Amino acid sequence: MTEKGRSVGEILLKAAEKGQADVMDVMIRRYGIDVNANDDQKNMTLLHIAAENGHVDVVKLLIQNGALVNAGDWWNWRALHKASSCGHVDVVKVLIQSDADVDAFNEEKWTALHCATEQNCIAVVKVLIQSGADVDAFNEEKRTALHVAAQYGHVGVVKVLIQSGADVNAVAVHNQTALHYASTHGQLDVVNMLIQNGADVNALIEENCTTLHNAAINGHLDIVNVLLENGADVNAVTKIKWTALHFVANYGYDDVAKVLIQNGADVNAVDGDKHTPLYYAALEGNQGIILQLVCSNAIIDCKAIPAGSAGSQILNSINKGLKSLRDGNGMKSTLMSDEEKRFLWNLAFVLATKHRVIAFKLICAILSFITFKGIFMAQGYDLGRTSPWKKKKKMQYISF
């Protein structure tokens, strides 16, 4: 014990943490300390502590006095893992020069490159690669450094890894590529970079999800656009036969639904349970998507929608209106509920983007409380001789 009541070991641990190389030098020479002794809690050596805190002089002193550069703590983290994770590039250089294993795994099979990548330490990443680190080394989840960088959106690290030969289509657990991770987590810049360097936009994970499914599920409109522009299959199906539009209809991403439909998504695609996107939009009460699907000629099967579900009432009212038009019977707007009127208002605004004349007449019909016979211009419905909107040519369904 020292005169202040602290042990020599405690003083050394504190000195390593604070970077007091002079204190450590005196203590080591005076007491003949074993520099490879571990603390009781994490099994960390003095070298781990100094490396984690970025104290180059202390690291050099410890190595000169016999510190083991490849010693692991309880989780098999080496000093190089610690320094790399914290971005201490000078410490990393000293450790490598002292024969630290650049590809050593910790308990979860992370290398120092994984650690530096996760923390976006570009300078450390470059040093590790220049020192021979394996850019395609994978952890226990089979994730490479590129998967990690893609998930967190570290564009600079992604660029360095690709330039150093990283496999852009390497697959991790469940066959996920770096593009799957970037698409799931909304990393647009990474998505662009990966695609530019040959990433497969239609690669499948175990459940047959593509990158488009991942982006759509999470509502990442900008990434959905990029993927479609680069050849993503808009109607690709998962193992349960869900298209991207099924997911979007279920989760209520109106803008994403619009883009998918514009790019040829099948509005009447059926999943393994024989349900269409409209079924899920109605089930969840996603009125904006119900609107888009109906206007894009989605088949309305009210019997398939559970009674009492959020969208069943609005679908039933639409179907009754369409049936009335087909049968040639008028229906007064005074019989419409407020919800039905709001729906028609929304429909008018959607139509206004491409069919302003029809939209204007629709709004007038609602405002003046006249019959709304002829409102729905769905393909196959005869508007009748008395309709003020009768066209000589058969009306086509509305596309967005």
pLDDT tens-digit map of 245-266:
999 999 999 999 999 999 999 9
Backbone φ, ψ for residue 249 (5° rounding): -65, -35
Q: What is the distance between the terminal CA atoms of the chain, rounded to a whole angstrom?
A: 81
Task: Give the Å distances, CA to CA, from 59 to 21, 29, 305.
Answer: 9, 16, 68
Domain 1-111 annotated CATH 1.25.40.20: yes
Name the token pair of 217: 């599920």
The domain locations on the chain are: 1-111, 135-221
- CA 284, CA 84: separation in Å to the nearest integer? 47
Half-sphere exposure of 141 (CA within 13 A, CB side): 12
Give the long-range contacts of residues 284-287, CB within 8 A, separation 24 or more. Answer: 284/249, 284/250, 284/251, 284/252, 284/310, 284/311, 285/309, 285/310, 285/311, 286/249, 286/250, 286/251, 286/252, 286/254, 286/311, 287/311, 287/314, 287/343, 287/346
Q: Which residue has the higher pLDDT, 335 or 15?
A: 15
Q: What is the pLDDT of residue 115?
A: 98
The reply to whether 135-221 shares the fold of 1-111 is yes
pLDDT tens-digit map of 272-305:
999 999 999 988 888 888 878 887 888 877 667 7
Q: What is the pLDDT of residue 321?
A: 55
pLDDT tens-digit map of 108-128:
999 999 999 999 999 999 999
Please name the amino acid found at residue 387. S
CA dihedral over 381, 386, 392, 396, signed as positive or negative:
negative
Class of domain 135-221: mainly alpha
In the structure, what pLDDT confidence band is assigned to residue 102 with cuts at 50, 70 and 90?
Answer: very high
Name the token pair of 303: 């019997």
**CB neighbourhood size of 43 (10 A):** 15
Across the chain, mean pLDDT equals 83
Predicted confidence (pLDDT) at residue 218 exceeds the cutoff of 50:
yes
Q: Give the mean pLDDT of 3-21.
A: 79
pTM summary value: 0.79
Task: Judge whether 186 and 223 are in contact, CB under 8 Å.
Answer: yes
- Residues counted in the chain: 400
With CA atoms as reference, report the closest residue to 45 among 23, 65, 31: 65
